[in-house]
């Protein structure tokens, strides 16, 4: 297991976490050879990723499938990373991207998700002639709203605005998203859901409508589907209807710039308040533990790609960087043995040229220590 978890681990030498300046003093390595360990290694790697363990997750940007030092290649990320969500560029792939995707999924067992903001119906899935020219089946419409309603069945105050008509339109939208994901064989759908942070819309601002969307998606993704493919909501899952919780594999929290466990505690309490009553468990503590196992804390590497996040203090008085602090998070009432579902970072690949994913590698080891 030590070889598995540290297959591409760059040794950083002396590394002191007491001072922020030390966090950035890392040598670029770029040493890991791809697909050179033999099939036994990759078979063990795939088995590890199928096991029950805290996952390492991240949003990947700027993916091309080619580039110096594998900076823009999925195959350049740490072997033991579990889940990657593509932030843009998930469709209309080049041959290089197709091969890169195939190798990391089939050889390394990394699960690759499609990521999209959910706001208004039709977002990212409406033909250009409908959105831009307001033409549907050869007919010209006077406005964007009318054209969208003609295509989807409902939009705003146009089309079938009855509850049944709105539901039918939302389910159609969900099926189109599913078809697009299936076309490229992705391992699931990561919904960026931030209705209270500038991304409201005629679906996202209405939890009942979001539940309809999730219910339709859950036929092929998430725990209810039985497919093993992931359905997750990042951003504000605590604002969903409680009934939506069982449809999700993970509650992914953008806990950016957190300074300590007290901040994570406040965020976690919102999850407890929303999902406790629908979470399996014979006691409140057992339910709390099960919610924790579904929670992924995330940092922002667009801002903190070279230091792993701001200084963070754990409830045990340990000072470290925030991503590692998140990996060490536990709930005193349920005990340290119940670990968080995982940790991740927005645009985690931006740390590649700074330190060759050092912080990602270290939190993998923090959550899943190598067995000696």
Place 223 in a pLDDT band, splitting at 50, 70 and 90: very high
Quote the crossing angle between the two packed helices 163-184 and 207-217, to the nearest 10°. 40
Structure tokens at 127: 């033909």
| pLDDT at position 170 | 98
What is the reported pLDDT for 71? Answer: 84
Query: Could you tell me if residue 159 is inside a domain?
Result: no
Confidence check: pLDDT of 32 > 60 = no
Q: What is the pLDDT of residue 70?
A: 84
> pLDDT category, 171, cuts 50, 70, 90?
very high
| 11 pLDDT more than 90 | no
| Residue that wins the pLDDT comparison between 343 and 5 | 343
Q: What is the pLDDT of residues 262-280, one digit of tens each?
A: 999 999 999 999 999 999 9
d(CA 290, CA 279): 7
Is residue 257 situated within a structural domain?
A: yes
Per-residue confidence (pLDDT) for residue 39, from 0 to 100: 87
Whether 191 is in a domain gets the answer: yes
Residues sharing a CB contact under 8 Å with residue 153, sequence separation 6 or more, in sequence order = 159, 160, 165, 168, 169, 172
Q: Is 114 helix (H, G, I), strand (E, B) or coil?
A: strand
What dihedral angle (degrees, nearest 10) is formed by the CA atoms of 146, 152, 157, 160?
Answer: 110
The string of DSSP letters for 263-313 reads HHHHHHHHHHHHHGGGS--SSHHHHHHHHHHTEEEEEETTT-TTTSSSEEE
In the chain, DSSP finds a helix count (H) and a strand count (E) of 13, 14
Residue 257 corresponds to which tokens in the numbers above? Answer: 């710039």
- For residue 183, pLDDT over 70 is answered with yes
**In 153-237, which residue ranges form alpha helices assigned H by DSSP?**
163-184, 207-217
Q: What's the token pair of residue 87?
A: 């932030």
**79, 7 Cβ separation under 8 angstroms:** yes
pLDDT band at 34 (very low <50, low <70, confident <90, very high): low
Q: Does 259 reside within a domain?
A: yes
Is residue 136 domain-resident?
no
In this prediction, residue 18 carries a pLDDT of 31
Q: Are 342 and 82 in contact (CB under 8 A)?
A: yes
**Minimum mean pLDDT range among 28-42, 110-124, 218-232, 242-256:** 28-42
Cβ atoms of 85 and 59 closer than 8 Å: yes
What do you get for the CA distance between the two ends of the chain, in Å? 8
Query: Does pLDDT of 8 surpass 60?
Result: no
Per-residue pLDDT at 31 exceeds 60: no
Number of domains in the chain: 1
**Which tens digits make up the pLDDT trace of 295-348?**
999 999 999 999 999 999 999 999 999 999 999 999 999 999 999 999 999 999
Instruction: Count how many Cα atoms sit within 13 Å of the Cα of residue 365 in the half-sphere of its side chain.
Output: 19
Residue 131 lies in a domain: no
Q: Which pLDDT score, from 0 to 100, does residue 66 have?
A: 92
Question: Where residue 35 falls among pLDDT bands split at 50, 70, 90?
Answer: low
- Give 19's pLDDT tier (boundaries 50, 70, 90): very low
Is 225 within 8 Å of 187 (Cβ atoms)? no
pLDDT surpassing 50 at residue 30:
no
**Predicted pLDDT at 166:** 98
Q: pLDDT category, 372, cuts 50, 70, 90?
A: low
Q: Which domain holds residue 114?
A: 2-119+164-367
C-alpha neighbours within 13 Å on the C-beta side of residue 252: 31
Average pLDDT score, the chain: 90
Find out whether 17 and 319 touch, Cβ atoms under 8 Å. yes
The confidence score (pLDDT) of residue 69 equals 76
pLDDT exceeding 70 applies to what percent of the chain? Answer: 90
**Tokens 């939506």 correspond to what residue?**
244
Q: Return the CATH number at 106.
A: 3.20.20.80
- Write out the DSSP string of 242-266: GGGGGG-SEEEEE-TT--BHHHHHH
Does the residue 137 lie in any domain?
Answer: no
pLDDT tier for residue 370 given thresholds of 50, 70 and 90: confident
* Residue 149 pLDDT exceeds 50: yes
User: What local confidence, expressed as pLDDT, does residue 36 receive?
Assistant: 64
What integer is the mean pLDDT of 87-94?
A: 92
Element (H, E) at 156: none
Query: Is residue 239 situated within a structural domain?
Result: yes
Q: Is 27 exposed, middle or buried (0-12, 13-18, 19+ CB in 10 A)?
A: exposed
Cβ-contact 350, 301 below 8 angstroms: yes
Look up residue 216 and give its two tokens.
């339709």
């Amino acid at each position: 297991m030590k070889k598995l978890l540290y297959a591409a681990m760059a040794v950083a030498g002396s590394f002191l976490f007491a001072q922020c300046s030390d966090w950035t003093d890392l040598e670029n390595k770029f040493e890991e050879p791809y697909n050179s360990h033999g099939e036994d290694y990759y078979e063990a790697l795939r088995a590890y990723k199928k096991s029950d363990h805290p996952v390492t997750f991240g949003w990947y940007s700027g993916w091309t499938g080619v580039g110096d030092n594998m900076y823009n290649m999925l195959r350049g990320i740490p072997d033991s990373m579990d889940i990657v969500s593509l932030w843009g560029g998930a469709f209309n792939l080049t041959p290089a991207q197709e091969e890169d995707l195939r190798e990391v999924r089939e050889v390394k067992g990394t699960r690759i998700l499609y990521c999209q903001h959910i706001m208004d119906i039709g977002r990212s899935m409406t033909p250009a002639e409908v959105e831009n020219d307001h033409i549907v089946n050869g007919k010209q419409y006077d406005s964007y709203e009318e054209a969208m309603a003609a295509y989807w069945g409902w939009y705003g105050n146009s089309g079938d605005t009855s509850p049944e008509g709105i539901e039918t339109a939302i389910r159609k939208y969900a099926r189109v998203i599913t078809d697009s994901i299936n076309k490229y064989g992705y391992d699931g759908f990561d919904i960026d859901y931030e209705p209270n942070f500038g991304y409201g819309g005629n679906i996202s601002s209405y939890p009942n409508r979001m539940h309809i969307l999730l219910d339709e998606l859950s036929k092929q993704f998430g725990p209810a589907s039985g497919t093993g493919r992931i359905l997750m909501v990042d951003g504000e899952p605590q604002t969903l209807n409680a009934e939506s919780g069982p449809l999700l594999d993970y509650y992914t929290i953008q806990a950016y710039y957190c300074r300590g466990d007290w901040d994570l505690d406040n965020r976690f309490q919102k999850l407890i308040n929303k999902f406790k009553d629908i979470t399996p468990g014979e006691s409140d503590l057992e339910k709390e533990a099960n919610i924790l196992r579904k929670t992924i804390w995330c940092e922002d590497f667009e801002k903190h790609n070279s230091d792993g996040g701001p200084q963070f203090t754990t409830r045990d008085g340990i000072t470290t960087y925030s991503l590692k602090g998140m990996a060490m998070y536990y709930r005193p009432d349920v005990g340290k043995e119940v670990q968080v579902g995982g940790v991740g970072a927005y645009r985690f690949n931006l740390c590649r040229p700074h330190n060759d994913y050092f912080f990602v590698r270290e939190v993998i080891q923090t959550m899943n220590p190598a067995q000696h």
